[in-house]
Structure 1
Amino acid sequence: MLTVRYFAGARAASGVSTESVGASSLDDLVDQLTARHGERLAVVLKAASYLVDGLQCHDRAAALPAAATVDVLPPFAGG
């Protein structure tokens, strides 16, 4: 299971700050989170950056390590 941590607008859109999800890649994770939380979060996830165990991840199809922590970082105002 992955630990997903939401920040700023992602936290507001999901309604939680942290949750556990079983996913194999970021693409899979986004699909599951969208199904779980709906279109409001889906919009945020499309623009978000992702940290996997503290490292920025650009390859959304890459396999995620088991028990990784994924931080969902939406664009922040002013940057």
Structure 2
Amino acid sequence: MATVTVRYFAGARAAAGRSEETVSAGRTLDALLTELAERHGERLVGVLAVASFLVDGVTCHDRDKPLPAGVTIDVLPPFAGG
């Protein structure tokens, strides 16, 4: 099965209850986010609404493009700091 890796950082990790998971490839980022929200619940929904997403380290601007197998998706919630 072709897969992608999803890595959660900071508040996203807390909301998902894990730091990383593997999911099937071939869907768009928006479709993947819908699946992750359904799988992990309302806490993650709130984080995903304000998060940024990197695909293999590059900001994802086309959320309707299918994700190829083997990529890593980083879920980055807004970070606080000064």
Shorter-chain TM-score above 0.5: yes
Distance 1:45 1:8 in 2: 12
TM-score between the two structures when normalised by the length of structure 1: 0.93
In the alignment, what sits opposite 2:41? 38
- Using the aligned pairs only, state the percent identity: 65
Q: Which runs of 4+ in 1 moved over 4 A?
A: none
In the alignment, what sits opposite 1:5? 7
Q: Secondary structure at the match of 2:5?
A: strand
1:7-48 Cα distance to aligned partner (Å, 9 max, x none): 000000000000011241110110110111001101100111
In the alignment, what sits opposite 1:19? 21
Q: CA RMSD in A?
A: 1.3
1:45-75 Cα distance to aligned partner (Å, 9 max, x none): 0111000011110221111111110000001
Unaligned 5+ segments in structure 2 are none
Unaligned 5+ segments in structure 1 are none
Distance 2:60 2:39 in 1: 22
Q: How does 1:67-78 map to 2 (within 5 A)?
A: 67-78=70-81
